[in-house]
Amino acid sequence: MLLEVANLSVWYDKAMLINHLSMGIDTGELVSLVGPNGAGKSTLLRAITGLVAWEREITRRSTHGEIKLEGTVTFDGERIDQVPAHEIVKRGLILCPERRRPFREMSVLDNLMAGSYLLKDRDQVRDNLNKVYQLFPVLQDRPNQISGTLSGGEQQMLAIGRALMSKPKLLCIDEPSTGLAPLLRAEVFQKISGIHELGITVLLIEQEVSTVFKMTSRNYVLSSGKIIAEGTGDQLLQDEVLRKTYLGL
């Protein structure tokens, strides 16, 4: 198993956001994590990729409440729940965060190159850049454009491209369709399927359940920090209570 999460809990101050959660992803899968707003999906991604541990270190030197993480996260055979976020990136577990967040004053090319800052092999960097350009030709056409002037869909493609520059073994993508028009959403989902076809394992958080279930091999449904269901899209959609209460369908 490429990623294994076992009995993971996350508290922010006294609020438990992730509650003894266990899940796993095999190499080569495209898996979704769905559920209502506030279910803990983004918190889970931050915990998996080391950002909760980083936030915890920051709060120890601030006036904020305590952040606590328990349980284990194993990636590619190694425990990473106590590993710094930049070391997790080196291992190939990469997060593409929600709301795109490009470096708005930097060019498209500089944003992409920022994604490869931990790679030492320049040939590998050039190869990664060529793959990103093949996947997102619009970025190749605009290397010098300031990223903040791109459309929302182009910024999302840039954010995914920047994540791909780190040569991920597992790419976690958080809410890529947020704020996009329907045609742009469809294009972004098509690109994510293309990334999976390149052999990259993908964990996708998304609200567009009806679209996502057609793409994925398996799906987890999260509510109040707990996994309440797992299965293929067809299996989950057969449960009327699950469909209406947690999937909004």
Counted residue by residue, the chain has a size of 249
Query: Distance between CA 80 and CA 229 in Å, rounded?
Result: 25
Q: Give the per-residue pLDDT at 62.
A: 47
pLDDT tens, 179-225? 888 888 999 999 999 999 999 999 999 988 888 999 999 999 999 99
First to last CA, the chain: 31
What pTM, to 2 d.p., does this model score?
A: 0.92
Q: Are 114 and 103 in contact (CB under 8 A)?
A: yes
Domains assigned to the chain: 3-245 (3.40.50.300)
pLDDT tens, 96-153? 988 767 888 899 999 999 999 888 888 999 999 999 999 999 999 999 999 999 998 8
pLDDT tens, 76-94? 999 999 899 999 999 999 9
Q: Are 55 and 67 in contact (CB under 8 A)?
A: yes
